[in-house]
Amino acid sequence: MIGVLLTTILFLYFIGNKVWPIIVSYAKMDVENLMIEVIHQSVQKKALEGIDLEQIYITEKNNDGTITMVDFNTNMINQLLSKTNEIVQTNLSYITSGNIEKLKESNIELDETLLKNVKKKRVTQIPIGVIFANSLLSNLGPSIPVAVNFVGNVESNINYQMKSYGINNVMMETSIHISVTLNLILPLPPQQQVKVTLDVPLSVKMIQGKVPEYYHNGYQQQSPLSILPSE
């Protein structure tokens, strides 16, 4: 009895400290990949539908026609972010509830294997064989089902980046930054959380300024030319 008890304790210790972290890491990776795909398609196919992206900018020019300021249209940005949050939240709720018919109505295209898992209210199934870290054994053994639920709401905001382009141009790249936090539902504790973040590109705007009368692109301290001494 003592031997069985010690064997059981060692087995549980091995499962909890060696095997289970590997299972959890695979589960997190599969969940992140699925959520990124669903969020990206939700924005591109639904949230941006019927929106003129040029109108998210407000451009001011002087009398010469030179651009003096570029700002965001606050009202349109707020509408876009609100619409994005609502659509992403709705489509992710279809994932957790297993409603693949509604997913298809939202034009979300997923692999058939993923759709079968979603229909069973799972986001993935992790084979026990992954613990061997061997491609030949990774699909062996029973599979552990993984489901998710959401913590809080979908969060989004606008990110932009300015880059110099040529002598007198600036390239402005705009994207929507989306963040979602989920709880992994696994057979064994402790409860695990996954935070999925994604930047979905919106537009690239070229801002043209005046051509400078003089352009100096730096200098080298050591010239490659050989200077002959003058007599």
Alpha-carbon distance 203 to 174, whole Å?
Answer: 5
How crowded is the C-beta side of 203, counted as CA atoms within 13 Å?
12
Q: Which two tokens stand for residue 217?
A: 């692109």
Q: What is the DSSP string of 100-115?
A: HHHHHHTT----HHHH
Handedness of CA 159, 35, 147, 150 (dihedral sign): positive
pTM of the full structure: 0.76
Does residue 194 sit in helix, strand or coil?
strand
Alpha-carbon distance 153 to 150, whole Å?
Answer: 7
pLDDT in tens, 176-228: 999 999 888 877 777 788 889 999 988 887 777 665 444 444 444 444 434 44
Q: Which two tokens stand for residue 94?
A: 């279809």
Sorted by where each begins, the domain ranges of the chain are 2-208
